[in-house]
Structures are given as structure tokens and as C-alpha cells.
């Protein structure tokens, strides 16, 4: 078996095992066994207390604020890319308009030169002075055609000039928006780095055993939330069948297990939460918004009891986190800095709602 197949099989087994545990209705999530007391003379294991709990809550707050800022950064990034493309398109239209206007001016110049060659008499004047009835009638048609052509030429020049002015005004507006979004992007980046730096400094002050206990507290909180969610009986009515696109999106997400969380990243080597879900659905041939907040705002909402694998679960009141539901009460998501793409309980965080990308 090739290394690629072995990797995919390992990832699939990880998901199956996780789903088996997470899907057990009403199953209690037992906390890890207490750490045995060290031998005499060793450092005692930190006892669970208010200090570590307060640190956990502070870390949650810092990483949540970083997630909100990451969404703002991603939104600004998406807008700057769109506006840059629009500016390029407008520049092309302006160039084409200028070329067209130059051509129209050449036509008008040719008409003026023709009039000069005929002694300064317009076609209309020459027509009125003609004594030949045949020439009179023939000239009448040419005069009418000439007048129509001149009118059309002037109208076309006026319209082209108006279009150029509008294109220039649109380009100027896009530049202003682009500058504003670049500033928003820079401000969001600064906030992200500030929050993550504060969190890392806070964690760096902990000793090894305190970090282990902190990780245990995080697991216990997630397990408690998942158990409470399962105890509501929510999975009794959840049985939606995945579509072919759902299956492709889940497959992509599964193949990313173990890759690191990096804010602003959308693969292939690292992801943030919405980078993972948007790329998973892009791989299934269906584009979705880049940020979790826009995914919540733009995609179709479905009831939790109607969700199926491939649906996206949006978390927290501000829609600052998103994960992909994979069935059996489990999700795949990119949690936060310092973590990797992983399987977790769908109810381990406060659920805002569920959206369906391919509805």
C-alpha cells in the first residue's frame, strides 16, 4: 500500500474512532484519570484551582478575539482582491474607450477635411445649388444619410466621453475602497498578532504540569458541553443523507486532519477555520463565502435536527467560528493557533446554527 493510501486510511480510521465515541447518545465524557502523586522529593502536580481555570477562561477570550479579528482580516483580504480585479477591469474599459474615442475623432476629422476639399460648402448647400434633377434626388439621399451619420457620430462621441468619465469615477471610488480595506486589513492583522502574542505569553509562564492540567481543563469543558448537548436527544432526529457534493467536501476536510491552524490560511499546508470549510466546499465544486460570518449570513439556514454530513455548524453569537459536520455528532475543524485540524464533538462549543452550502 502506498504512503498516500496509508495516510488516507489512517485519517479515515481516526474519524471513525472519534465518531464512534462522540456519537454515543447520552454518553458521559469521563475526565482523564487524576495524575498520580510524584515520588517523594518531586514537584507536586498542580491542583485544579481558580487560577488555572481563570487562565483557561482568559485564553479562551484572547483566542476568541483573535478569531473575530481573523474574520475581519479575511473579509478585508477578500474585498481587496475583488476591488483590485475591478480596478483592472475598469482600466481596460478606459483604455478601450480612449481608443474608440480617438477613432471617432478621426472620423469627425475626415468629415471636416472632406468639407474643406469641396470648397467649404456643406453637402446640403451643394444639394440646394444643383440644377440637375437626377443629381438633386441622388444628393437628397446622400444629404439625409450624411446628416444621420453625423448625428450618430456626435451621439457616439458624447456617449463614449460620458462612459470614460463614469469609468474614471468608478475607478477612483474603487481605489478609495481599496485603501480603506487595506487599512482595515492592517488593523485586523495587528489585533490578531496582539491577541495571540498575549495568549502565548500567558501560556509560556506556566510550568509543564500546569500546561498539562490546563489542557485537561479544556478537554473537560469540551466533554461536558458535548455530553450536555447529546443528553438533549438532538441526535435522535438527525439522519439527513449526504449528497455527492457533501461527501466530496467531507473527504477533503478529512484529508486535512493534523495540519496546523494558521490565521488567514486556506491551504494547502495550513488552515484557519473558515479557510478549511471554504476550501473543502471549493473542492466539491461549490464556492462559499470565505469567512464564517459571511457563511452564516449568506448560506441557507437549516435546523440542527435536519443537518447532514457536509453542513457547516456556526459557533458563538458573533459567528466567529465554523466547523464541518461529519455525522454521528462529530465535526472536523481548525480550532485555534497552536492546534491542528481535528475531530471534535459538534456540541463542544456554543452552536449558533447550521448552514447548508449546496442548498
DSSP string, 59-78: HHHHHHHHHHHHHHHHHHHH
Mean pLDDT of 295-312: 95
Q: What whole-number percentage of the chain has pLDDT above 70?
A: 74
Active-site annotation holds for 321: yes
Strands (E), the chain: 300-302, 312-315, 321-327, 330-333, 342-345, 351-356
Mean pLDDT of 106-110: 72
Which one of 17, 64, 301, 333 is the catalytic residue?
333
Which one of 64, 286, 301, 321 is the catalytic residue?
321
Q: What whole-number percentage of the chain has pLDDT above 90?
A: 52
Inter-residue contact 291 to 332 (CB < 8 Å):
no
Active-site annotation holds for 301: no
**C-alpha distance from residue 105 to each of 49, 135, 142, 174 (Å):** 83, 30, 21, 29
Q: What is the pLDDT of residue 104?
A: 74
Mean pLDDT of 106-127: 62
Q: How far apart are CA 195 and CA 205, in angstroms?
A: 16
Which one of 17, 273, 286, 301 is the catalytic residue?
273
Active-site annotation holds for 64: no
Inter-residue contact 334 to 322 (CB < 8 Å):
no
Half-sphere exposure of 230 (CA within 13 A, CB side): 22
Q: What is the pLDDT of residue 161?
A: 84
Q: Please check the confidence at residue 347 and state whether its pLDDT lies above 90.
A: yes
The H or E element that residue 106 is part of is helix 50-117
Q: How much is the pTM?
A: 0.69
Half-sphere exposure of 316 (CA within 13 A, CB side): 15
Q: Taken in order 299, 300, 305, 309, is the CA torsion positive or negative?
A: negative
Grid cell of 75 as nine digits: 473579509
**Crossing angle of helices 133-204/50-117, nearest 10°?**
160
Q: What is the pLDDT of residue 269?
A: 97
Q: What is the pLDDT of residue 2?
A: 45
Amino acid at each position: 500500500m502506498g504512503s498516500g493510501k496509508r495516510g488516507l486510511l489512517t485519517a479515515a480510521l481516526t474519524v471513525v474512532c472519534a465518531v464512534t465515541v462522540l456519537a454515543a447518545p447520552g454518553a458521559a465524557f469521563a475526565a482523564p484519570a487524576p495524575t498520580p502523586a510524584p515520588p517523594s522529593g518531586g514537584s507536586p502536580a498542580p491542583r485544579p484551582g481558580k487560577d488555572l481555570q481563570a487562565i483557561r477562561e482568559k485564553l479562551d477570550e484572547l483566542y476568541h478575539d483573535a478569531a473575530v479579528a481573523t474574520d475581519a482580516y479575511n473579509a478585508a483580504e477578500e474585498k481587496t482582491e475583488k476591488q483590485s480585479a475591478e480596478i483592472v477591469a475598469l482600466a481596460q474599459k478606459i483604455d478601450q474607450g480612449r481608443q474608440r474615442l480617438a477613432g471617432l475623432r478621426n472620423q469627425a476629422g475626415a468629415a471636416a477635411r472632406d468639407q474643406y476639399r469641396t470648397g467649404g460648402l456643406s453637402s446640403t448647400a451643394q444639394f440646394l445649388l444643383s440644377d440637375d434633377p437626377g443629381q438633386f434626388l441622388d444628393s437628397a439621399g446622400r444629404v439625409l444619410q450624411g446628416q444621420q451619420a453625423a448625428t450618430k457620430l456626435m451621439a457616439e462621441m458624447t456617449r463614449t466621453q460620458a462612459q470614460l468619465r463614469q469609468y474614471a469615477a468608478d475607478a477612483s471610488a474603487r481605489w478609495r475602497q481599496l485603501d480603506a480595506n487595506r487599512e482595515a486589513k492592517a488593523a485586523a492583522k495587528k489585533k490578531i498578532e496582539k491577541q495571540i502574542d498575549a495568549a502565548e505569553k500567558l501560556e509560556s509562564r506556566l510550568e509543564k504540569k500546569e500546561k498539562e492540567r490546563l489542557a485537561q481543563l479544556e478537554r473537560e469543558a469540551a466533554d461536558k458541553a458535548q455530553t450536555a448537548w447529546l443528553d438533549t436527544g438532538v441526535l435522535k432526529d438527525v439522519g439527513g443523507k449526504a449528497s455527492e457534493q457533501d461527501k466530496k467536501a467531507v473527504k477533503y476536510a478529512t484529508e486535512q486532519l493534523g495540519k496546523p491552524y494558521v490565521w488567514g490560511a486556506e491551504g494547502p499546508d495550513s488552515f484557519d477555520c473558515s479557510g478549511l470549510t471554504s476550501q473543502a466546499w471549493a473542492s466539491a465544486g461549490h464556492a462559499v463565502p470565505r469567512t464564517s460570518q459571511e457563511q452564516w449570513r449568506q448560506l441557507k439556514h437549516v435546523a440542527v435536527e435536519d443537518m447532514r454530513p457536509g453542513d457547516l455548524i456556526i459557533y458563538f453569537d458573533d459567528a466567529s467560528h465554523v466547523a464541518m459536520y461529519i455525522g454521528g455528532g462529530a465535526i472536523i475543524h481548525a480550532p485555534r493557533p497552536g492546534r491542528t485540524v481535528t475531530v471534535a464533538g459538534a456540541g463542544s462549543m456554543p452552536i449558533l446554527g447550521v448552514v447548508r452550502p449546496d442548498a
